[in-house]
Amino acid sequence: MAVNFNMGFAISLIFVVVVAGVSVVTAESPKEVIVKTVKGQKVCDQGWECKGLSKYCCNDTISDFFQTYQFEDLFAKRNTPVAHAVGFWDYKSFITAAALFQPLGFGTTGGKSMQMKEVAAFLGHVGAKTSCGYGVATGGPLAWGLCYNKEMSPSQDYCDDFYKYDYPCAPGAQYYGRGAIPIYWNYNYGAVGEGLKEDLLNHPEYIEQNATLAFQAAMWRWMTPVKKGQPSAHDAFVGNWKPTKNDTLAKRVPDLEPL
């Protein structure tokens, strides 16, 4: 099976030229870019948005090409009266969440074109997973992304006792779908919580209470393989994953074309 990525959202993104240097501050870009060479490799720090001397921080950051008005245009229906998470999702939460992963390559891998495509693909998944639009909805179904932040009528508590030793269900906790790319089941809340250093196993409700954390959970899943031996969505998308012979024979190959 091919690894597909939903690119259904059309996003108009702006190319921004960033001048390289040891410390660069311009009127157009007030960020200070710190550049160093560590073990022969160029690494950079761009402050709060891409911090920690990473090779990825030498590229444009997400806010250079994806800004508030574009987020508002993309998810224009999210705060309409019929939406179910009015006032929850916003650009600040998205860009704050992304700051945790940009030093790791999220939206900062490759050239500008690849960076923009990855952000578009990620938001395409987010929009599709949280849309309350239908085929006849104004603007089409993809215009209604981020309508939800949780499953509205869960049919169960999603507690799997098979994982009771690694991820035991907390008394009274319900592990129904929550987030920008919804999390289900106790073992997934446990794994994501470990990755983000948040106690989501005992407090899964944190995801529906904090938009930044909800975006971080989705980004963590995007950057992290689901199973050993599988690529993360990020690695498959940016070309870090090279299929083995067995992958190719099983028709597991990257497919970055729109669905």
Q: What is the rounded average pLDDT of the residues 234-242?
A: 91
Q: Any idea which residue has 């106790």 for tokens?
A: 186
Domain containing residue 253: CATH number: 1.10.530
Question: For the chain, how many structural domains are there in total?
Answer: 2
132 plus 187 within the same structural domain = no
Q: Confirm if 207 and 178 have CB atoms less than 8 A apart.
A: yes
* In a domain? residue 102: yes
% of the chain residues with pLDDT over 90: 71
Give the pTM. 0.85
247 versus 52: the higher-pLDDT residue is 52
* In a domain? residue 218: no
Q: Confirm if 146 and 130 have CB atoms less than 8 A apart.
A: yes
Tens of pLDDT, residues 211-220:
999 999 999 9
142 plus 155 within the same structural domain = no
Confidence of residue 247 (pLDDT cuts 50, 70, 90): confident
Q: What is the rounded average pLDDT of the residues 188-194?
A: 98
Identify the domain containing residue 121 by its residue range.
1-148+225-259
Q: What is the rounded average pLDDT of the residues 227-246?
A: 88
DSSP per residue over 111-141, as a string?
Answer: SHHHHHHHHHHHHHHHHHHT----TTSTT-G
Tens of pLDDT, residues 126-161:
999 999 887 656 777 677 999 999 999 999 999 999
Confidence of residue 253 (pLDDT cuts 50, 70, 90): confident
2 versus 164: the higher-pLDDT residue is 164
106 plus 130 within the same structural domain = yes
Domain containing residue 197: CATH number: 3.30.20.10
Tens of pLDDT, residues 93-109:
999 999 999 999 999 99
- Tokens encoding 179: 């987030």
What span, in angstroms and rounded, lies between the C-alpha atoms of 142 and 206?
A: 26
